A = this chain, B = another copy of it.
């Protein structure tokens, strides 16, 4: 992710100009502001702005006149209670705005989370950069043989090299032709809104993305999960670190109740009760399908 000197200078200028405010600030977040954290080969995430902190969640839950916090430990307890009982609205009272650079095929997954605000770099209006995601060799995974929607081990040897070469060559050629088509040297030049159609889905785009904490945590639960596609998961993991510094109590509750927790079906709950009473339960006596039973077994470790 090579930022140009001009881009870095713009970022540095913002980081060098603290201002006075009466608003709530989150000290753990201030240190992240504007910094571009690299993700994949050319991508990044950086925080542009934020609103609220752990105390703001409690302040809203209590509809209070002041800062709304008696003590940090009280707040953490309330936040855990809210998370455990699926109260979503207090978490919506925190907001974050990000600048993200990401491959188009990742952007297409990301945008399915609709409750957010987004401004994307316009390829109708502007010219895209020559930047394409090429997987690192250890992430060049084979199709999973057991899961149609997953990946297996990394490709090896000649096959891996052939794939890398195809991705690289096709990306470069597509960009050459993109440039050739829009060029106005000695010709009219194709409209940008049309020429972009020649670029493959590993080309990088970028956007401003703004979302409240409740919806961000929902995004992270799905996208930082180990079933998520690697290329979006690395963005989610980077965001997890930032959120942990921003709202440590909320993030702690999220880790315990969402990321590290599990949802049991009525059947699963019944099986556990029977098992705790000493009964030996099998797939046949569980009432579950084979797939469910396998997932249930994994859950119990």
Query: Do the beta carbons of A105 and B196 come within 8 Å of each other?
Result: yes
Given the known A-B contacts A81-B291, A167-B198, A267-B256, are A120 and B15 also in contact in the complex, defined by CB atoms under 8 Å? no
A210 to B14, CA, bound (A): 26
Query: Do the beta carbons of B140 and A118 come within 8 Å of each other?
Result: no
Count copies of this chain in the complex. 4
Q: For the complex, is A237 an interface residue (Cβ under 8 Å from B)?
A: no
Query: Do the beta carbons of A18 and B20 come within 8 Å of each other?
Result: yes
For A34, what are the chain B residues with a Cβ–Cβ distance below 8 Å?
22
The chain B residue sitting closest to A116, CB to CB, is B114
Count of interface residues, chain A, beta-carbon cutoff 8 Å: 135
Q: For the complex, is A285 an interface residue (Cβ under 8 Å from B)?
A: no
For A48, what are the chain B residues with a Cβ–Cβ distance below 8 Å?
59
Query: Do the beta carbons of A117 and B170 come within 8 Å of each other?
Result: no
For A234, what are the chain B residues with a Cβ–Cβ distance below 8 Å?
none
A14 to B56, CA, bound (A): 13
Cross-chain contact of A19 among B25, B166, B196 (Cβ < 8 A): B25
The chain B residue sitting closest to A111, CB to CB, is B111
Given the known A-B contacts A10-B64, A67-B13, A191-B151, are A117 and B212 also in contact in the complex, defined by CB atoms under 8 Å? yes
Majority secondary structure, A binding face: mixed
A63 to B44, CA, bound (A): 14
Query: Do the beta carbons of B104 and A118 come within 8 Å of each other?
Result: no
Q: For the complex, is A200 an interface residue (Cβ under 8 Å from B)?
A: yes
Query: Do the beta carbons of B13 and A191 come within 8 Å of each other?
Result: no
Per-position 1/0 for A107-140, Cβ under 8 A of B:
0100110110111111011000000010100001
Query: Which residues A207-222 have CB closer than 8 A to chain B?
Result: 207-208, 210, 212, 222
Per-position 1/0 for A91-117, Cβ under 8 A of B:
011010101000111001001101101
Query: Do the beta carbons of B200 and A197 come within 8 Å of each other?
Result: yes
Per-position 1/0 for A44-72, Cβ under 8 A of B:
00001111100010011101111100000
Q: For the complex, is A275 an interface residue (Cβ under 8 Å from B)?
A: yes
Query: Do the beta carbons of B93 and A184 come within 8 Å of each other?
Result: no
For A140, what are the chain B residues with a Cβ–Cβ distance below 8 Å?
190, 194
Given the known A-B contacts A181-B166, A199-B200, are A207 and B63 also in contact in the complex, defined by CB atoms under 8 Å? yes
For A210, what are the chain B residues with a Cβ–Cβ distance below 8 Å?
92-93, 95, 212
List 18 additional A-B contacts (Cβ < 8 Å) besides A63-B206, A111-B112, A163-B181. A10-B65, A14-B66, A18-B20, A19-B25, A20-B25, A60-B208, A63-B120, A125-B149, A150-B191, A151-B193, A167-B198, A199-B200, A199-B201, A256-B265, A261-B268, A262-B269, A272-B300, A273-B301
Give the 9 A-B CB pairs with smallest separation, nearest first: A10-B66, A260-B266, A151-B191, A92-B117, A197-B202, A142-B188, A7-B65, A114-B114, A60-B119
